[in-house]
A and B are shown apart, each in its own frame.
Chain A
Amino acid sequence: MGNVPSAVKHCLSYQQLLREHLWIGDSVAGALDPAQETSQLSGLPEFVKIVEVGPRDGLQNEKVIVPTDIKIEFINRLSQTGLSVIEVTSFVSSRWVPQMADHTEVMKGIHQYPGVRYPVLTPNLQGFHRAVAAGATEISVFGAASESFSKKNINCSIEESMGKFEEVVKSARHMNIPARGYVSCALGCPYEGIITPQKVTEVSKRLYSMGCYEISLGDTIGVGTPGSMKRMLESVMKEIPLGALAVHCHDTYGQALANILTALQMGINVVDSAVSGLGGCPYAKGASGNVATEDLIYMLNGLGLNTGVNLYKVMEAGDFICKAVNKTTNSKVAQASFNA
Chain B
Amino acid sequence: MAAMTKALPRRLVGLASLRAVSTSSMDTLPKQVKIVEVGPRDGLQNEKNIVSTPVKIKLIDMLSEAGLSVIEATSFVSPKWVPQMADHAEVLKGIQKFPGITYPVLIPNLKGFEAAVAAGAKEVSIFGAASELFTKKNINCSIEESFQRFDAILKAAQSANISVRGYVSCVLGCPYEGKISPAKVAEVTKKFYSMGCYEISLGDTIGVGTPGIMKDMLSAVMQEVPPAALAVHCHDTYGQALANTLMALQMGVSVVDSSVAGLGGCPYAQGASGNLATEDLVYMLEGLGIHTDSPLLSHLGERSVDPQIPSFQLQDKWN
Contacts and interface: CB of A to CB of B under 8 A. Distances in A.
A295 B240 contact: yes
B242 A255 contact: yes
Contacts of A47: 5
B15 A336 contact: no
Contacts of B195: none
Interface stretch (A29-37, A52-60, A155-163, A203-211): A29-37
A309 to B, nearest CB: 7
Contacts of B231: none
Nearest to A253: B283
Please classify how large the interface on chain A is, using the bins under 10, 10 to 19, 20 to 34, 35 or more.
35 or more
B315 interface: yes
Nearest to B219: A31
Contacts of B220: 31
B226 interface: no
A253 to B, nearest CB: 5
Contacts of A304: 10-15, 212
Given A5-B81, A303-B211, A40 B311 contact: no
Contacts of B309: 193
B267 interface: yes
A20 to B, nearest CB: 7
B271 interface: yes
Interface of B: 1, 4-5, 8-19, 21-23, 26, 42, 45-46, 48, 75, 77, 81-83, 106, 108, 127, 129, 137-139, 167, 169, 172-173, 175-176, 178-179, 181-183, 203, 205-213, 216, 220, 235-240, 242-243, 245-247, 266-273, 277, 279-280, 283-284, 286-289, 304-312, 314-316, 319
B153 to A, nearest CB: 14
Contacts of A336: 207, 237-238, 266, 269, 271-273
Interface of A: 1-6, 8-12, 14, 17, 20-21, 23-32, 36-37, 40-41, 43, 45-47, 82, 84, 115, 188, 190-194, 221-228, 230, 234, 252-255, 257-258, 260-262, 264-267, 269, 281, 283-287, 292, 295, 298-299, 301-306, 308-310, 331-333, 335-340
B299 to A, nearest CB: 17
A114 B193 CA distance: 57
A227 B46 CA distance: 33
Give me the 3 closest cross-chain CB pairs, A-B, nearest first.
A304-B11, A302-B210, A225-B287
B169 A227 contact: no
Given A3-B77, A11-B175, A303-B212, A221 B311 contact: yes
Given A25-B212, A32-B13, A287-B311, 12 more contacts: A1-B45, A12-B176, A21-B178, A25-B216, A30-B181, A32-B216, A45-B10, A258-B284, A265-B23, A304-B15, A306-B10, A336-B237
B211 A5 contact: no
A11 B176 contact: yes
24 contacts: A3-B81, A4-B45, A5-B82, A5-B267, A11-B176, A17-B175, A17-B178, A24-B179, A24-B209, A40-B16, A46-B15, A225-B288, A226-B26, A254-B277, A255-B284, A265-B19, A283-B310, A285-B315, A299-B243, A304-B13, A306-B5, A332-B237, A336-B272, A337-B269
A41 B13 CA distance: 9
A340 B17 CA distance: 37
A253 B183 contact: no
Contacts of B236: 332
A328 to B, nearest CB: 9
Contacts of A82: 1, 4
B289 A227 contact: yes
A335 B273 contact: yes
A8 B8 contact: no
A40 B172 CA distance: 22
A25 B172 CA distance: 9
Contacts of A4: 45-46, 82, 138, 267
Contact of A303 (B15, B42, B172): B15
